[in-house]
Structure 1
Amino acid sequence: MTPLRLDCRPLPAGTETAPESGALTGVVISVAGELDATNADDLESSIGRMRHPGRPLVLDLGALTFMDSTGLHVLLRVHRQVRQDGGSFHLAAVRDLPARLLQITEVWDALDIHPSTDAAIAALSSAFGPTTRLERPSCG
């Protein structure tokens, strides 16, 4: 099994803002490796520490090679939590087996899924318009 690896970075300057508060910023979290019952809880905890309530979260799954139903449930729970906190949740670069799982379960149509991280960021930019960066988030 390939261990799960995470990388977190802030969204680029000027790509998004929370419209009601003017507060910036969201994060992009890149997930690599295999997501299954052995590490799904760790991923959910890590995302909880890295994300900013009320702000956009983009999960780049381009390097995720495998995901089982526990990983799917993590994505659905994180989606629900982010939306309840007033943020937006986007998946990017979903490929191969993870993409197939999302399609078979019909979750694909329920989430905001973009072909790349750049496309997800562009969607955020068009939704909120140009902004000025007010703060730099930490990713941990």
Structure 2
Amino acid sequence: MTILYGPASAVPATGVPEPGTASCDAVDALLYADRQLRLVYRPAPSAARIRLIGEIDATNRNALEQTLARAGHGGEPLLIDAGRLRFIDTGGTLLLARLCQAGAARVVNVPPFLRRLADLLDLPLGIDAVVSAAAHDHRSRQG
């Protein structure tokens, strides 16, 4: 795990920032990285936020699943930030939906392409589940 504190000048020679300093307050950790995808972790008081950056497909889906399973936060759901995803295949979308349905995660900052894919597959993604379900019910009644 790589921990990023901010500017190198803000980190003391010991490598451990002093409590209460700006460099100690915002800590990001790189949980996973390959040529297509990075997962960045930021702890928060009520939930862990995992930022997905890049592309998710069959080549990194298992690593994503294992990394998210290890990143749990004391029973609180993970906040999965999908705002910087450029691509996700249906298998990756199903993985995120399973985590949401189990109550283990909520997906936030859902890009339009992922929202559309989840809607087409009738998959809830955390906070967007109510909106997707309502839209699906409305289309079903019209068709």
Report the TM-score range of the alignment, normalised by the length of the smaller protein: 0.5 to 0.7
1:6-25 equivalences under 5 Å are: 6-11=39-44, 13=45, 16=46
Aligned to 1:112: 127
Question: Greater CA radius of gyration, 1 or 2?
Answer: 2
Asked if structure 2 preserves the Cα contact closer than 8 Å seen for 1:59 and 1:90, the reply is yes
Quick check: 2:94–2:123 contact (8 Å CA) kept in 1?
no
Residue 53 of structure 1 and its aligned partner are, at CA, apart by 4.3
Of 112, 120, 143, which aligns to 1:96? 112
Counterpart of 2:126, as a letter, is L
Hey, what's the Cα distance between the residues in 2 that align with 1:43 and 1:4?
A: 9
Q: For 1:39-54, what aligned pairs fall within 5 Å after superposition?
A: 39-54=60-75
Alignment of 1:74 onto 2:102: no
Whole-Å separation in 2 of the counterparts to 1:57 and 1:102:
19
Aligned length: 95
TM-score under structure 2 length normalisation: 0.58
Q: Which runs of 5+ in 1 are unaligned?
A: 17-25, 115-140
Shift of 1:79: 2.4
Shift of 1:10: 1.0
Q: Normalising by structure 1, what TM-score?
A: 0.59
Gaps of 5+ in 2: 1-34, 130-143
Q: RMSD over aligned Cα, in angstroms?
A: 2.2
Shift of 1:76: 2.4
- Measure, in 2, the Cα distance between the counterparts of 1:94 and 1:49: 22
Task: Give the ranges of 4+ consecutive aligned residues of structure 1 lying more than 4 Å apart after TM superposition.
Answer: none
What are the Cα deviations for residues 69-122 of structure 1, in whole angstroms up to 9, with x where unaligned? 1101211232244x2xxx5x21111113222211211224x63239xxxxxxxx
- Is 1:32–1:65's contact at 8 Å kept on the other side of the alignment? yes
2:73 matched to 1:57? no
Percent of residue pairs identical: 32
